[in-house]
Chains A and B, each alone.
Chain A
Amino acid sequence: MPDSDPKARVHPFKLGAKERPPSVPSSSSSPDFVELVTRSNYTFLTGASHPEELFTEGAAHGYGALGIADTNTLAGIVRAHCAAKDAGMRCIVGSRLILADPAGIEIAVYPTDRAAYGQLCRLLTAGKRRAPKGKCHLTLDDVAQHATGLVAIAIPPSVVKAEYEPSLHLLRDIFDHDRLSLAASIVLGATDAERLDILEALSRRTGTPLVATNDVLYQVPQRRPLQDVVTCIRLGTTIQAAGYALHANAERHLKPPEEVARLFRARPQALARSLAIAQQTNGFTLDQLRYEYPDEVCPEGLTPDQYLRALTEEGARERYPDGLPDLIREKIEHELALIADLRYAPYFLTVHDIVRFARSRGILCQGRGAAANSAVCYCLGVTSVDPGRINLLFERFVSRERNEPPDIDIDFEHERREEVLQYIYGKYGRERAALTAEVISYRGKSAIRDVGKAMGLSLDCVDNLAKTLGWWEKGEIPADRLRELGLDPNDRTLRLVLLLADQIQGFPRHLSQHVGGFVITRGPLCESVPIENAAMDDRTIIEWDKDDIDAMGMLKVDCLGLGMLTCIRKCFELVKHHHGHDLTLANVPQEDPAVYDMICRADTIGVFQIESRAQMSMLPRLKPRTFYDLVIEVAIVRPGPIQGNMVHPYLRRRNREEKFSFPSPEVEKVLGRTLGVPLFQEQAMAMAIVAGGFSPGDADKLRRAMAAWKRKGDLIFRFGKQLIDGMLKNGYTREFAERCFEQIKGFSEYGFPESHAASFALLVYVSCWLKHHYPAAFAAALINSQPMGFYAPAQIVRDAKEHGVAVREIEVNHSGWDCTLEDGAIRLGMRLVNGLAEADADLITQARALGGRFATIDDLRRRTGLHTRPLRRLARADAFASMGLDRQHALWSIQALDDTPAPVFDDAFEHAPQDDHASQALLPFISEPQRVRHDYAATGLSLKAHPMSFVRDALNVRRVSTARSIQDQAAAPNGRRVSVAGLVLVRQRPATASGIVFYTIEDETGIANLIVKPDVYERHRGVAKLSASLCAWGRVERSGTVVHVLVSKLASLDELNEGVRSKSRDFH
């Protein structure tokens, strides 16, 4: 998947700048000092510079190398390594170890060769695995065990006392004279001179030479304010209260070597020592890390290529029982040759192994992206997209030029993905497999919040300020807007907050786990990168994120969770059980015209992807009739094509309203299938290659640039120039070239690859097929897979009823936890009962299976041993109807029970209140609207009536139309002023719609779509944002069969519908 996050800081690796060879310092300018002890902002909330900034500054000062030693971590080292290459420098890999035992020892260590680096990673892994997430617990013994090949610099505390000397002796026992130094800094403190004298004496007594360093925290002195602020954030204090926790001056920046040399002119040996250490570490760079695929996926005696071929052929026989078509055979041969050539067989075998496991457990899965839709993967069962149905070029995903692994994402049922993850941990062990990290960085709101708090702003002031976010991202907040929020635009603190919040953008804050990216290695992974505990139990993650492992060329398999797969699997099971059809993703009948008819009607509530508002309004215009149309449908309703202005040209061409031609046959080959409009990321790359003369490698960099942050997007313009020049050279017109570039730029934030769209399209088709042919089973499975998708159970149930499916109430004598099918009708499950635990529902179904139906509440209570609390929840859901008790009377009875669990099998259980029948008669009458209201409160839906039907009379008086009447062309022609009222189902504010909010509301007749423009939204803010039910006035807008109401006024109906809360789903 492309980088969908526009604010992430671009990894230096992605910038793709030309590598400069490490500059060989000429003897005349060779510095007499190397800075070794530098902390970047990967020492979270301590260091105040990005690694890139440190190296850029270092290069400007003429340093040839820079030592990066972040505290107890190597998280930033790949970025530092890449930044160093870009700057033509060497990154001296290191880590600053703060020992927990004995406390007070702090050393920076640097590996001198690959083996020592492995030791360092192991050391950090050991410290992290025994500590809670984000912490590291290291002991001197750990250091001693992993010290081979490391050189160390002991960093003394700020006040050196006599107790420090024994610590130094302990370190000297581990590191000999050549490998241990004592850090000396001159940072213009009050007692620099005395301190240096003390250190020198210590150095002499322990035989530990002094090494000069500035113990750097930021690249330039101007960063001191930011360093102070991150210190405050770290300590949870404010700048006013932080006091001596802050540094007294700005001396901890990266000083020019001459400056350090001048400060240490009295101690030249300390300067020379820094050069000597840099020399010692010459033997290692991160480039020496070689990624190797795991080899146990292949049985002994076979090479991975042989085994992959065997598996592919075996799979092919299953997929094509009538014999392999020639086209597919060619494809397979071609792919296998390329895989062999690039030595990717182990990768495909690894993926196959994971998929095979999932299948053996009956976990539905589907691969997508990159190489997943190849013929080989189809045969291996990684994907169910028939390569015959879609024409994707394998090279596009596995390029010969890019020496990096192919990328396969596998979606699993969201409820069962954990089983797969634990299988991988189990199979490869925690030393060899771990999840990728996700670097959580400061952006937008979090930046303003944390900086604001650190600067001592009050919480509501910070919240107000965070509201200006939209402006702030554009660079400047208008003074009026600030005044409106009750803030003084001239206030110095406020301006500082904005300035510093801008600086802190992109600063890493902590590591989290990537959604599912697994890294698996042949040797111990913990010798390539430290592994730490994740917040979730039983998860371990490496310290590097996906860009880092990309840069290091490491294998990643994304194991993601997808709700629709859960739903489809549950639906398959219901169909099998009730109809006897054994369905799989691959054997669902293809290209069923009835299914496409349904899709063209936009009758797609609940299906995958094309159920959203935007998708549904596109369907009648796009009129998909084939599988490939679905692929386009999935990709076209995305911010990328919308912003690139590709949707309308495509629709016009498709409906033959616009003529088009191709400037060249090459271009036709690339864009032909999408009628000349680039819709997919791959097409943008292919255009760059065939028309712009890019090499595939450059095209890949273009893809990365597209995925990168728009705000720092000067890079894409660099490629733009290259592209346009190339196209002009190849004889294309400037106009065509520029339009192409504009379209490609549209992908920059949310481009969607065809390979992903194809996999999604299959799930779209399968879910539509199920919905069309088995509406009851599909609706039941959908509810049983909640939460997922756009619609709540109430709408799914309603939609099912509209398709002629009978739906029955939740009932303790009939319902299971899940929804079930009863003679073709849906029996709602107890999972819909608010607050009921699955275990309690299971007690009921088990007792029922054992002893038959329950006669009374007491009977149920005795046989299940349930507390009154779950009984109450069931009663609130009106689930005792078969006992002749409605909600009120069931609750009245249950309220009389005392709150201890009933003794199971107690025959003498007779103190059931005898007053029930006498008193029941005295309970007040409950009206129908109230009953419906209670239904909504307890289960989120009601089968009795729609709440809006009770206020219809009042609405009629006010001439409010029904949702259905608005659909009617005659009753509501284009432009007619109407009003319509309903429960809010969905509020959606797409990032691409410049503040327009889309509402879906529902009344007893159907659904109406509202468009609320920003000015209207602002005017009715309270109603627009919070109301559960509302009335809207506006004009009808028709486009084909799609009807919207362009709203000019809103009013809340919550008072009429008191208590009804359809759980509206709000998407922003």
Chain B
Amino acid sequence: MLADAHIHVQEHDEHADAHGLLALARWASKRWSPTVSVDPPDGLLMDITGCAHLFNGEHGLLASVEAGVARLGLTPRAGIASTVGTAWAVARFADREDALVPRGSERAALAHLPTAALRLEPETTEALAEVGIERVGQVFDLPRNALPARYGTDLIRRLDQALGLVPEIVDRTCESLAIQASRELPGGTTHLETIELVITMLLVEIAASLASHESGLRRLDAVFDRLDAESQHITIQVSRPTRDDRHLWSLLRPKVERLNMGFGVERVTLRVGGITRLVHRQGSFAGERAREHNGELAAMLDTLASRLGRTNVLRTELVQSHRPERAFRLVPIDDASGTAPPLFFSPVGPRPSRLLDPPCPAQILTLTPDGPVSRVRWRGHDHTIHTSIGPERLAPEWWKGREPTRDYFRVQTEDGRWLWLFREACSTRWFVHGEWC
């Protein structure tokens, strides 16, 4: 119904939402209060104890949060109260002017809000509505002992939380997620060896920390705070999760060597990104070597990539296409979602080991029309043909565009070379498309 011409429809991406909310929490924690936790799917909880004076009081804080979030292109609804429950309720259900609840007025503020403001399961809200109870105030009117049997203890808990009768605290979502290590260098240093030493020490710390979480990293940010100017950043990425400090150092080192230290670095911080679960593995007798080998290959690829740039180290990947030039493609190594080793043969038929791109025009001599090829003139040389196998007819991928059908021939020249020729249907043009070397 809504999917009219001008509405863009996008599938709901829960994961991206959660990610965005977390980013928002981090961002908020740097502005208004260090204690921010996410309240999925759409909320942030902020402990503003002792923060309001920085914004000329709670009204100022509220206005600042609303303006700040609105600048991001989001539509905020905010509320302030002395309990999490009441703040949650007024943010979502109260008018803007009632969004700030003074301590002690929770009951009054909640009374006219709908029961959904109590953070109840939908079934509970429905059950209340069935007997005509639609506002929180009507719940207050009921005898407390009549509630648990009908609506479970959850209703009581939520009521008490909202009124501050039982405590509820705001977690610090953002901090708990980050693994980082930092070392101050009082007075600053421009001495490279010192910095290298510090980094290796920090890497050991981080590796230990990752190990204790059974995790590995995919990205590492190194931040160098300088005495004189903005801090310098170095970021490295790895193709498979790791917590090997030596490997990480081998990747960091070439970049650290080129670091501009200015008047001196006073603090080095390493932050871990892309934390992925990486379980301790017990070495097995048979599998050990293969894994080691893989590890070495990965280490080598990482080294190559960090020197040449990640987009410049490529590998081939087979593509299921009947068009020979589309039957493979090159992808960056860290696009390695699939870890299958590259195949070097095609399942559809014999394919040359070297493919010419684009196909190279050639002149052909046949003894009889439509008969087998007897001579090929290609790159200025004449080749007499001994053997000719074919045709193998490959029709175009019609959904991609208009292309002629090709008839392929495997031919052997008198000096023993095997060439792959094709003729375009509906024309007499011939091409050499490859060679078996």
Which A positions have Cβ atoms within 8 angstroms of B? 188-193, 224-225, 228, 239-246, 248-251, 455, 460, 463-464, 484-486, 492-493, 496, 872, 876, 888, 891-892, 895-896, 898, 913, 915, 918-919, 922-926, 930, 1022, 1025-1026
Contacts and interface: CB of A to CB of B under 8 A. Distances in A.
B366 interface: no
B392 interface: yes
Contact of B141 (A248, A492, A922, A1022): A922
Nearest to A192: B392
B133 interface: yes
A225 B398 contact: yes
Contact of A925 (B5, B132, B320, B407): B132
9 contacts: A188-B391, A242-B320, A460-B9, A493-B399, A872-B130, A892-B131, A896-B150, A898-B149, A923-B131
A371 to B, nearest CB: 49
Given A189-B349, A915-B143, A455 B394 contact: no
Contact of B347 (A244, A493, A872, A924): A244
Given A244-B320, A896-B149, A924 B348 contact: no
A248 B320 CA distance: 11
Contacts of A913: 146, 149
A1017 to B, nearest CB: 14
Contacts of B321: 243
A496 B399 contact: yes
Given A249-B395, A896-B150, A924 B5 contact: no
Nearest to A918: B143
A237 B134 CA distance: 49
A646 B147 CA distance: 69
B5 A485 contact: yes
Interface in B138-185: 138, 141-143, 145-146, 149-151
A250 B138 CA distance: 75
Contact of B394 (A240, A248, A484): A248
B130 A193 contact: no
B131 A244 contact: no
Interface in B379-396: 389, 391-395
> At the interface, is chain A mostly helix, strand, loop or mixed?
helix
A190 B138 contact: no
A734 to B, nearest CB: 50
Q: Which among B142, B391, B393 has the greatest number of chain A C-beta atoms within 10 A?
A: B393
Most buried by B among A246, A463, A496: A246
Please report whether the interface of chain B is mostly helix, strand, loop or mixed according to DSSP: loop
Contacts of A1026: 1
B140 to A, nearest CB: 10
Interface in B358-416: 389, 391-395, 398-399, 401, 405, 407-408
Given A243-B319, A923-B131, 6 more contacts: A190-B350, A228-B398, A244-B322, A249-B322, A486-B6, A915-B145
B130 A876 contact: yes
Contacts of A463: 3
B1 A891 contact: no
B392 A888 contact: no
Interface residues of B, number: 40
A249 B394 contact: yes
B229 interface: no
B300 interface: no
A895 B127 contact: yes
B3 A464 contact: yes
Given A248-B348, A922-B141, A888 B398 contact: no
A190 B141 contact: no
Contact of B131 (A193, A250, A485, A891): A891
Contact of B132 (A188, A250, A924): A924
Nearest to A238: B399
B68 to A, nearest CB: 34
Contacts of B134: 924
Interface string B76-90: 000000000000000
Contacts of B131: 888, 891-892, 895, 923
B399 A239 contact: yes
Contacts of B3: 460, 463-464
Nearest to B138: A924
Nearest to B402: A492
A190 B392 contact: yes
A192 B392 CA distance: 8
Contacts of B391: 188
Contact of A240 (B5, B392, B399, B405): B399
A484 B143 CA distance: 59
B395 A224 contact: yes
Contact of B320 (A188, A224, A243, A876): A243
Contact of B146 (A888, A919, A925, A930): A919
Nearest to B318: A243
A923 to B, nearest CB: 6
A455 B138 contact: no
4 shortest interchain CB distances as A-B pairs: A243-B320, A190-B349, A188-B393, A895-B150
B5 A896 contact: no
Interface string B39-72: 0000000000000000000000000000000000
A327 to B, nearest CB: 60
A1025 B1 CA distance: 9
A463 B7 CA distance: 13
Given A190-B348, A895-B131, A922-B142, A248 B398 contact: no
B401 to A, nearest CB: 7
Contacts of A484: 5
B426 to A, nearest CB: 13
A264 B151 CA distance: 82
Contact of A896 (B1, B6, B146): B146
A933 B347 CA distance: 67
Contact of A492 (B5, B149, B401): B401
A249 B350 contact: no
A925 B321 CA distance: 71
A250 B394 CA distance: 9
Nearest to A244: B320
Given A191-B349, A248-B394, A919-B146, A924 B320 contact: no
Contacts of B322: 244, 246, 248-249
B348 A244 contact: yes
B5 A248 contact: no
A427 B272 CA distance: 77
B319 A895 contact: no
B407 A188 contact: yes
Contacts of B9: 460
A892 B319 CA distance: 65
Contacts of A923: 131-133, 142
Contacts of B395: 224, 248-250
Nearest to B7: A486
Given A244-B320, A915-B143, A1022-B1, A249 B393 contact: yes
